[in-house]
Structure 1
């Protein structure tokens, strides 16, 4: 944590799990690169501290921001806060910028320095001004070096498909289930058939936060190997090694596929990223790259 000239910087409010954090960090860094100013982060509702980003080799510059500002940054336009920040009484000259919509916001790169970004910013279009690609910002090789060599080499040999099944928090938290919904086994079965037709891969590697449920759903499919649970950064690194991907409605497996980009790669993503009631409010196609397959 450090003292910084916040008026001449971009500050990103971090929230959520590793997949969400990566979107937020890369968008903030992209805007900072566009403006040619420093990028800082603050985590949670108070003084900045470490986050899961360090697990993948990202070392953000953390700054201290008053708790009231962090709390208000996530709300809709707050006139009293805006007026406060515009006066000489405010010691923290940051203008809160709340993500106005789920899909890409064209006004993002019109923002000026001295802004506090609050949102999820889930579109690769926000990465367009990055001077260093996301894969180079992260240190996934260092993560791989902490995994048994036989596991790493086993994924690299032959043609492998990563399948990600997310169940844990979607099942445990009713509010999360209401927003995200669940991807049914039929989606994975159809993805499996498509991969067989396109690539006839050697193995399908299943990563899941609910291994027992994953086995129950996909145990009948041929050539399926269920990966042992590992720390999240190790799962992400291993997923990125796979040649092709069948992802869940999860920013975590989105990043596994994005980091694993290569020529001839096929990525299958669920057409229904959210529950039906949520999809009526959100346009999600800016999240999905044009060369990915919606199923």
Structure 2
């Protein structure tokens, strides 16, 4: 058994589940999900909820008081009859950790795992797990058909808590208009007649402040992030923000010839090694 602790927003939860699934796959064992983080948010955290129930994946949850961690002396002393002991693995740094492949069965895993290196070996299984349960709305179907008929390019502008939450703003930073101008210029040179599909949690701000191609389609009808991600996945090419959300919108796309443009600077914190987060086949700008 592998237990994965989920935390953060949709994109982060997807990275964590994918890493946990990879570990379980390598060990030929089952994966369980720990949701306890969502019950212990503090005031400075952006409100988050479990969101993987939108996907066709196995949802096997643990009851936290059934387990203890064998490398935690306090919890060992609190051990009671019937509990199961688990080893513990905590991601030591942001870049890929080769020791992840040495994880043994019956391990509790905690971290962010923001690189495909943890799970690219099971891509087919990941694609199946992250297929969306519900059918798209009529409007979404129309936009997806349009994406299929054109050289569609999803363009994601992340604002939200990157603006409103001081801690998130200091850590992540925002991608400015210059980044998107450069990305669009590159796409225009590489792809004939691209059509841009614009996604943002502040779409009106984008309309007012960004000079985007006149033929751009602003995706505004969806009430949930999962529906935006569904359309991103169906676009043939992607311009992503420094966001795990649009990272997955690009990674799950099935176009073999897709162009993905991503920011060189993922975090403002230059002490964090983000060299592994962007796949080598994507272009950093």
Shorter-normalised TM range: 0.7 to 0.9
Residue aligning to 2:278: 288
Cα offsets for 1:36-89 (capped at 9, x unmatched): 111100113489xx92101133242111013996xxx9xxx975347548x787
Runs of 4+ in 1 over 4 A off after TM superposition: 81-85, 87-90
Residue aligning to 1:188: 180
Residue aligning to 2:42: none
Cα offsets for 1:70-117 (capped at 9, x unmatched): xxx9xxx975347548x7878241222211000100000101111111
**2:142 aligns to what SS in structure 1?**
helix
Q: Work out the CA distance in 1 between the residues paired with 2:61 and 2:203.
A: 35
CA RMSD of aligned residues (A): 2.5
Are 1:243 and 2:236 counterparts? Answer: yes
**1:66 aligns to what SS in structure 2?**
helix
Q: Work out the CA distance in 2 between the residues paired with 1:92 and 1:135.
A: 32
Q: Which segment drifts farther, 214-223 or 100-109?
A: 214-223
**2:261 aligns to what SS in structure 1?**
strand
Residue aligning to 1:146: 137
Residue aligning to 2:64: 65
Match of 2:264 among 255, 266, 271: 271
**1:63 aligns to what SS in structure 2?**
coil
TM-score, scaled to structure 1: 0.85
Q: Which segment drifts farther, 130-139 or 244-253?
A: 130-139
**1:116 aligns to what SS in structure 2?**
strand
Are 1:40 and 2:32 counterparts? Answer: yes
Q: Work out the CA distance in 1 between the residues paired with 2:9 and 2:90.
A: 19
- Which runs of 5 or more residues in structure 1 are unaligned? 1-8
Tell me: CA distance 1:145–1:222, structure 2 relative to 1, closer, same or farther (3 Å): closer
Q: Work out the CA distance in 1 between the residues paired with 2:93 and 2:2.
A: 20
- Which runs of 5 or more residues in structure 2 are unaligned? 40-48
Are 1:171 and 2:163 counterparts? Answer: yes
Tell me: CA distance 1:31–1:204, structure 2 relative to 1, closer, same or farther (3 Å): same
Q: Work out the CA distance in 1 between the residues paired with 2:165 and 2:216.
A: 29
Matches within 5 A, 1:92-171: 92-130=84-122, 132-140=124-132, 142-148=133-139, 149-171=141-163
Q: Which segment drifts farther, 123-132 or 35-44?
A: 123-132
Do the aligned residues in 2 keep the contact of 1:162 with 1:206 (CA within 8 Å)?
A: yes
In the alignment of these two chains, the number of paired residues is 274
Question: How many Å apart are 1:217 and its aligned residue?
Answer: 2.9
Tell me: CA distance 1:109–1:44, structure 2 relative to 1, closer, same or farther (3 Å): same
Q: Work out the CA distance in 1 between the residues paired with 2:182 and 2:123.
A: 38
